[in-house]
Structure 1
Amino acid sequence: MLDYNVTDFTNPSTFILLGIPGLERDHVWISIPFCIMYATALLGNCTILFIVKMELSLHGPMYYFLCMLAVCDLVLSTSILPKTLSIFWFNSREIDFGACLTQMYFIQCFSATETGIFVSMAVDRYVAICDPLRYSTILTNSMVAKIGLAVLLCSIILVLPYPFLVRQCPYYRTNTIPHTYCEHMAVLKLACTDTRISNYYGLSLIFLITGLDVIFITVSYTQILRAIFSLPTKDARLKTLGTCNSHLCAMLVFYIPGLFSLFTHRFGHKVPLHFHVLVANMYLLVPPMLNPIIYGVRTKQIRDSLLRLITHKSAYFSCSGALAFRPSSMWR
């Protein structure tokens, strides 16, 4: 018997994204929290970039790394949400094969870049707490720029084989992807040829990048905690630990959903497909939304700069309004 539900496609020119399988009737309602998260991510990260640019007191390594994180978050959320919303609102499900590979590459590349930035931020906190006298000489502006460039280039080079390995798969069971975006494993599952090389490369890259980064972060924070608990007073310990809280929260927000999505996709065969797709979207939307909130609320310098900016703008508009409604001398 022939299976007419499965068609062979040789090098398909387009893929069809289904959105969230099983929840098609709720796509419009699901789009509402997605829009809120994306709008919050755009506003929050752009605010962080603007504040750091405008405030000279924030022109330092910690805030430069925070700006890199904000750019990564903007790229990650923007790489998936416009297409996702076009599926939810306009049923525009087609995506060009080249655009699909590009989207896949950007997601993988900037996810790897983000984890590298977390390592850089951990090193920044380590030098600031464990060797504060040499902080300004070790982490100069040129050194921060070199670290950021090295992290980006490393991610670009390591992730580059991903789209080429997927493109080499000549036959596909179908061109329909049960997802809201071109996730690597979701696309790879359509291939009829042997995909072990791509699978092994993906797994090795995950363990190489994420595994090593987590090890470096753990070692850095082990040394940081040892330095903190060796301080003489409780107030000094709490104040120093407070400088790390934002970074720790941001890392947990990024790594926990990411690892959960990874393991459910590869090993959670009994997990409902719609649940996995939702988690995969949360992984790319929740951290960009929460990171500016975490750093804005928990970092005193950013919070104070934002309050000064708001107060200054309010005072300016009040003055402008008063002058606009002030009676002219000719009417007196």
Structure 2
Amino acid sequence: MRYIIIGAGAIGATIGGRLAEAGHEVVLAARGTHARALRADGLRLTTAEGPRVHRLPVVEGPAELGELRPDDVLLLAVKTQDAVAALDLWGAAEVAGGGTAAQRLPVLCAQNGVESQRLALRRFARVYGVCVWLPATFLEPGVVSALGTPRTGILHIGLAAGGADARARQIAADLEKAGFDAPVVEDVMRWKYAKLLGNLGNAIQATTGPEPDPAKAALLRRARREGEAVLAAAGIAYVSQAEEAAARDGRAVQPAVLRGGSSWQSLYRRTGSIEADYLNGEVCLLGRLHGVPTPVNEVLRHAANIFAREGIAPGSMSVADLTALADEAESRHR
């Protein structure tokens, strides 16, 4: 199989680089200065085993590859706000022997949140969810660091609509050989909804900084309580924190040198967008559908989007100010 990594950022580049190290054929899809750096200098990937340079094919779209191959696997690793454009572009690509990628090829959704699977299922016949636990940093074009140890990351895989199949097991076997834990599960979305609850703190970290703080932890607990309430109202199951902890225990230990998570990194790179609409915004959506107030998550979503839209540096807001906004929003719902 050839792996086409659509969105070769922190997650995509790490998975692609590790697969290449294990002997698999890999193509990286990237754009702008990142694509130019990857072409000129290679993917400079540092893992717990040390730095390596991977000189892999780099494309900006499927037209540069010609017809796709029947054995291609598409791994979607762009942020969810960029997923529709990527799915439409790659889904329309023709595959040798007839048909399009959306009709014939598998797509793996390796993103935070739960919306990308729904977007993909509208377009692709074969959609897999990937619950990603992979501490990685991407701050400079062409340069990615993923120092998780003893495994680089944990990637639960299963069919987005439920169940698992032989293709999921083959992909998982490839990922295992490449340095990941890749459990094949029948209920991958249950894992992704659990990860969603943890990711509700991304906006807190992005706006107030990644440094540990009891006030930040308290605000995350409030956001998480809202998330748990809306999932209960919607009848959506998710993995318990104990089950998550057991799966991660000693498997892909996050290094202390990690500067900030994915949302913090988006602000640092001034991408102009952030995934809060698909993390805190998912909670807000379910709250509105099921009559559950979600004022804390709405404040976090709104604040993160202002930072992204206006190019405000990550960590520029005090946790006291963010908490005060959440308090005010909650008081309006009492």
The TM-score normalised by the length of structure 1 is 0.24
Higher relative contact order (Cα pairs below 8 Å, separated by 6+ residues):
1
Structure in which a larger fraction of residues adopt strand: 2
Higher helix share: 1
When the two structures are superposed, what TM-score results if normalisation uses the length of structure 2? 0.24
